[in-house]
Structure 1
Amino acid sequence: MIKVLDLKYEEYSQWEDLSDQDLIVINKAKEARNSAYANYSNFKVGAALLLDNGKILTGNNQENAAYPSGLCAERTAIFYTIANYPSAKIIKMAVVAGKDDNSSIPVSPCGACRQVLIEYEFRQKMPIEFLFTGMKGKVIKFNQCADLLPFSFNESAL
């Protein structure tokens, strides 16, 4: 039997077409990218989370000479948020990535980050909007992180 997976997302060719709230979160992610520690790859990533209490928290990638010891911006932001605001819910997250200020290719999260996003979406029992972009250009928006990782592993499998 062949089944078809229907994946829905929005694509914005201009940032001006985004909502004010989306722009605020993207710009916070862009700011966070500036202080990423990416001395080895020179690939900087910033993330920003909007919480249900109105706070916007950020994170960025943190590299290490022992490559597996680093951490992506998405997980840096999520782990900080959950450690410091355990009862807050994440409404949306934006990620801005690229080697330089002219980067225009939207960069989606890695598999490990997708799994963490799914875990917290499942945990809070409400979707997390997810936006990703380069430093300029096209923006991709998912209404829920579950769409980023179909057939994800979760606690129901344990």
Structure 2
Amino acid sequence: MKKRIEINVALEVFSKDEWTEMDAKLLSEAEKILENAHAPYSNFLVGAALLLENGQIFSANNQENVSFPVGVCAERAVLSYAMANNPDIAPVKLAIVAKRREGMELATVTPCGLCRQTINEYEYKFGRSIEILMLGPDDEMFRASGIDQLLPFRFSDLND
């Protein structure tokens, strides 16, 4: 074996009394907007809220299409809108909240592979990590310090 590439990953878990004020605000915005998701096929509602470095907050939800799975995930929707309208302002924190339409309990989810690669694209563009917050049942917040914690061998140059 010539060499070995090894990456350690971790998520931090916080109870509600450990959240920052901004974490609480972003998670609340994501939870509010998930109720407006257009998800008639999966009945799985996802909301996302994005904080830019200038303090602006944007939110979006998943939008499905009868030509399933052609829809748009909440994470990509909010990133696309924010970056289309603020192309020079870095995203710094992304909150994600999800649940089944019929359920009251939140589902603990992480971004899908396509969303992970999209987050990676903006981390690369701005040269900084985007903190990712994921809300689960019992008000537990899972935090990834950047996309490398969710996509360690993402589409990038391993020689860097």
* TM-score, normalisation: structure 2: 0.89
Deviation at 1:155, TM superposition (A): 6.9
| Shift in alpha-carbon separation, 1:137–1:105, aligned structure 2, 3 A | farther
Deviation at 1:8, TM superposition (A): 2.4
Structure 2: 5+ residue runs without aligned partners?
A: none
CA contact (8 A) 2:50 2:94 kept: yes
2:65 is aligned with 1:38: no
Deviation at 1:56, TM superposition (A): 0.4
| Shift in alpha-carbon separation, 1:32–1:155, aligned structure 2, 3 A | farther
2:93 aligned residue: 92
Q: Which residue among 132, 135, 143 is the counterpart of 1:133? A: 135
Note the alpha carbon deviations across 1:66-86, whole angstroms, 9 max, x for none.
112201000000000110111
Query: What letter corresponds to residue 84 of structure 2 in structure 1?
Result: A
1-structure distance, mates of 2:36, 2:11 = 29
Does 61-70 or 1-10 show the bigger shift?
1-10
| Shift in alpha-carbon separation, 1:135–1:82, aligned structure 2, 3 A | farther
- Residue-pair matches, total: 156
Note the alpha carbon deviations across 1:38-85, whole angstroms, 9 max, x for none.
111110000000011111001110001111220100000000011011
| Identity fraction in percent | 37
* TM-score, normalisation: structure 1: 0.90
Structure 1: 5+ residue runs without aligned partners?
A: none
Q: Which residue among 105, 108, 111 is the counterpart of 2:107? A: 105
1:63 aligned residue: 64
CA contact (8 A) 2:97 2:106 kept: no
Deviation at 1:117, TM superposition (A): 0.5
1:150 aligned residue: 152
Deviation at 1:25, TM superposition (A): 0.6
Secondary structure, aligned partner of 1:69: coil
Secondary structure, aligned partner of 2:139: coil
CA contact (8 A) 1:129 1:144 kept: yes
